[in-house]
Homo-oligomer: A and B are copies of this chain.
Amino acid sequence: MPRVVDHQQRRREIAAAVWKLAASKGLESVTMRQVAATAGVSLRQVQYYFGNRDQLLLQSLRLLNERSTESARARIEPAADSMGPKELARAILLESMPLDAQRREQLLVHIAYFVRALSDDALAAALRTPDGVDAGELELLLAGLIDEGAASGPLPAGAALKEAEMLLALAFSIGADTLAGLRTIEQALATLDHQLDRLFG
């Protein structure tokens, strides 16, 4: 066994370059050479650690999802016990809003991949079997919180799930609008909080 290198670490560094490029100039500017230059490695290394460009894009998405769920967990779990249902639901939703540089980059890259998946079946399949937290899981989790903390008595059956779908869709959409400069982050949060206030007390 010769010349051992931490492959995982190298791949994360290169993937970080992919995210940076994708967030600042779009997925189509993520070329093998640009990634190499941004990561400060040779073209050959990008080939060596990811093989294809397709694999580079796919694996970089996987690594991004890993990091996202990791930092979300780190932000939420420590304080989860002292949170009511409303605060917890809000914290979950805020994870997908561009509140800081990291989440902003996450959302930009995620949207870029989402759009590419619309015309790339391989990527679409990869998005449907995520590495991190499934979207369906999040809906169920939020629905449980809504039922638990419902403001105006118990909801009709299935209503909480539909409200949870709405909240997630809303967060995604106004987050994207914020990135495009169509809303300010304050407006976006106000719109989201209006729905939270309605559902919870």
Contact = CB atoms under 8 A, between A and B. Distances in A.
A195 B180 CA distance: 26
B118 A182 contact: no
A7 interface: no
A134 to B, nearest CB: 11
Interface stretch (A45-53, A56-64, A79-87, A170-178): A170-178
Nearest to A168: B173
A162 interface: yes
Contacts of A28: 28
Chain A contact-residue range equals: 35 or more
How many monomers of this protein are in the complex?
Answer: 2
Contacts of A166: 166, 170, 191, 194-195
A135 interface: yes
Contacts of A23: 119
Nearest to A136: B182
A3 interface: no
A94 interface: no
Nearest to A25: B119
A179 interface: yes
B111 A182 contact: no
28 contacts: A24-B119, A25-B119, A26-B116, A26-B118, A26-B119, A26-B120, A28-B28, A108-B118, A111-B118, A112-B115, A114-B176, A118-B180, A124-B181, A127-B180, A128-B181, A135-B182, A162-B190, A162-B191, A162-B194, A165-B191, A166-B166, A166-B195, A169-B169, A169-B177, A169-B191, A170-B170, A172-B173, A173-B173
